[in-house]
Amino acid sequence: MAHRILRIDSSIKPEGSISRQLTDDILSRLTQAHPGAEVTSRDLGADPLPATDGHWIGAISTPAAERTAEQARTVALSDSLIAELKAADTVVIGLPVYNFAAPAQLKTWFDQLARAGETFKYTETGPVGLVENTRAIVAYSSNGTRFGSDIDFASGYVRQMLGFFGITDVQFVASDHYAIDPASSIKAANDGVAKIAA
């Protein structure tokens, strides 16, 4: 069976995005190691998902047979996003840091995925993720918010959400000081890409 890769970009920059460059590089490394890999791509920056709201929670809370046509479309989109995630062997996520946190459009993707009984379940000992045998590689990019620093509220959030869904094999590649020293920031990221076990 072909290796299945889900690529998620979330930069709002159509050109000159470091996180997109890194997801390109990561994808290239993975597809070289897995010829014939099946790649599914979502560009959340260019094609944002609808935010979760009262209509969304009402739609997913309504039994399928009782949903309106609009509710059915809302749930179908969420279902398709969940199916993409569950089908993936590897998820590659572009994580540009905006104002010390993950982009709103990436959070919306996680919000669309976070459904009890689909990507996680509640147990007596706490929530358990339902996405199995999947790993994630995250391309972290920032002009000056250092990866793992006290002001980095992006990487911990992404790691937490992935873990909540059951994805605990998570690797970060970081270009985290581009505005300060572009050359060394990109070199650090490229070194990280080179170390990825394909």
For the annotated binding site, the residues are 11, 17-19
To 10 degrees, what angle do helices 18-33 and 182-194 make?
Answer: 20
Q: Residue 175 in contact with residue 95, Cβ under 8 Å?
A: no
To 10 degrees, what angle do helices 69-87 and 104-113 make?
Answer: 100
- Amino acid (one-letter) located at 151: I
Neighbouring C-beta atoms of residue 32, cutoff 10 Å = 10
Indicate the annotated binding residues for FMN.
Answer: 11, 17-19
Q: Cα(121)–Cα(128) distance, rounded to whole angstroms?
A: 5
What secondary structure letter does DSSP report for 116?
Answer: B
